[in-house]
Amino acid sequence: MESSVNVGQREPHLGAYLNDEMYCWELVSFLVDGYVFNVPRNPFAMGSEYFVTKYLQSQDIGLITLDGVSACQFRTFLKLLFPIHTTSTTITLSKSEWLTILTLSTLWHFLDLRGLAIQHLDPQIGDPIELIVVGRAEFVPQWVMKGYGALVLKPGPIAEEESDAIGDRTAVRLYIIRHTLRDGPNLNAIPGTDVNVEGLLRERFGAEMDMLEIGNRERKSAAAILQEKMEAEEVIRLEMEAAQLKLLKEEEENARRIKEEEARLFRIAEEEKRERDGAEKEKKAAEEEERNRKIMELQEYWDQKRKEDQLLQRELAEKARRKDEKKKEKAAIRMQHSHQQHRPVQEPVFKTPRVGSCTSSRDRDG
């Protein structure tokens, strides 16, 4: 049966002690601003490979001098690294303390502490100038971009002290973007809504943003980079799903609109057909009425014509009758004359006028 030796327990056969693999720490001494700090080495070694390479690489390092850091700043950093005199499972630090931790963790590449500081400070920094100044110093590009955007969209002008804090060249570029938003081709656009402000900022401050991104990436752990990559991929996936869902809804909406439009056009076509059929019926009825009217007019015409012809025939017959009668009369007269011409001539008989008669024979004859 194998015997196992627990870490920290005495090995009975060897008569020696084993160092605990996690909590048997070696002390290291730092000289900071005239103060000596004796602290465990292990958290520094685990926290930053960069710090180990720069300060803890030598076997006989002795007293390590940390230049450019105040004793107060280092105490604040150690407050997070070695919390003491507390029964709480969490540590509460002020904004200024988190800013100190952010500065030192950025300087020494303590990646996890830097991420923790950014996480705690993000909701606490709202002033655009502070966002820009701290973001530039500690390689936090999203803060710089946020500060630039706030200055571009602020109602009033950029103050002189603000320009001094961020730099005159930066202030001029921001004024150019403000001018583009308010007086350019998008004159009536509300800044930040119809105009891509971030795109304009990226166009003007692209080189600075790239430099900050490089510094920020150098101070991120592989796990953090992987996490950000996964989060970015998740965001892209969600955006693609949202875009697909939006496209599907748009297609459904378009299909519904097309169906409604087809139904509307069908109703219009039916209505037009009914109107055409009604108009055609009215036209046919009007044509039939016009044809009947013309037939009646023609019938009346022919009736009148027939009456006129009958009247003319009667007149012609009357004329012919009269003409025949005249012919007969003339023929009778001619026959009478003819008879008179063939009658023997008788001598005239002279009668003696009566006495007392005052009428002569000529008068009688006449």
At 192 the pLDDT is 43
Tens-digit pLDDT profile for residues 244-272: 899 999 999 999 999 999 999 999 999 89
Residue for token pair 């008068």: 363
* Cα–Cα distance for residue pair 220/206, rounded to 1 Å: 21
Query: Is the domain 11-116 a CATH 3.30.710.10 member?
Result: yes
Query: What is the pLDDT averaged over residues 8-34?
Result: 76
Query: What is the pLDDT averaged over residues 175-188?
Result: 73
Domains in the chain: boundaries: 11-116, 125-220, 247-313
At 340 the pLDDT is 75
* Cα–Cα distance for residue pair 276/278, rounded to 1 Å: 5
Instruction: Check pLDDT > 80 for residue 221.
Output: no
All residues at 6 or more sequence positions from 153 whose CB lies less than 8 Å from its CB, including other chains: 191, 192, 197
Tens-digit pLDDT profile for residues 334-348: 888 887 776 665 555
Lowest pLDDT segment from 204-213, 230-239, 353-362: 353-362
| Torsion of Cα atoms, 240 then 246 then 251 then 255, to 10° | 160
190 by DSSP, 3-state: which? coil
Burial group, residue 327, by CB count within 10 angstroms (0-12, 13-18, 19+): exposed
Q: How far, CA to CA in Å, does 221 sit from each of 50, 55, 111? A: 12, 20, 6
* Cα–Cα distance for residue pair 65/30, rounded to 1 Å: 6
In this prediction the pTM is 0.58
Q: Which residue has the higher pLDDT, 231 or 54?
A: 54
Query: What is the pLDDT averaged over residues 202-230?
Result: 84
Query: What is the pLDDT averaged over residues 82-93?
Result: 76
Q: Which residue has the higher pLDDT, 24 or 266?
A: 266
Centre a 10 Å sphere on the Cβ of residue 217 and count the other Cβ atoms it contains: 13
Rank 78-87, 116-125, 268-277 by mean pLDDT and report only the highest. Answer: 116-125
Burial group, residue 131, by CB count within 10 angstroms (0-12, 13-18, 19+): buried
Instruction: Check pLDDT > 80 for residue 220.
Output: no
Could you tell me the end-to-end alpha-carbon distance of the chain, in angstroms, rounded to an integer? 203
Q: Based on C-alpha coordinates, what's the Rg of the chain? A: 65
* Cα–Cα distance for residue pair 346/110, rounded to 1 Å: 187
At 353 the pLDDT is 58
At 366 the pLDDT is 43
Query: What is the pLDDT averaged over residues 25-50?
Result: 92
When the pLDDT of each residue in the chain is averaged and rounded to a whole number, the result is 84
At 22 the pLDDT is 79
Instruction: Check pLDDT > 80 for residue 320.
Output: yes
Tens-digit pLDDT profile for residues 164-175: 999 999 999 999
Outline where the chain has alpha helix (H). 42-47, 49-55, 71-81, 95-108, 111-121, 128-137, 141-153, 160-166, 168-183, 197-204, 206-218, 222-342, 361-365
Q: Which residue has the higher pLDDT, 58 or 272?
A: 272
Strand partners, 17: 10
At 229 the pLDDT is 77
Q: What angle do CA 352, 357, 360 make, to 5 degrees?
A: 65
At 261 the pLDDT is 92
Single out the residue of 27, 46, 45, 47 nearest to residue 37, CA to CA: 27
Please report which confidence band the pLDDT of residue 144 belongs to, taking 50, 70 and 90 as the band edges.
very high
| Torsion of Cα atoms, 233 then 234 then 240 then 243, to 10° | -140
Residue for token pair 């000596």: 36
At 8 the pLDDT is 43
Instruction: Check pLDDT > 70 for residue 36.
Output: yes
All residues at 6 or more sequence positions from 135 whose CB lies less than 8 Å from its CB, including other chains: 141, 142, 143, 144, 146, 147, 212
17 phi, psi to nearest 5 deg: -115, 145
DSSP code for 19: P
Instruction: Check pLDDT > 90 for residue 193.
Output: no
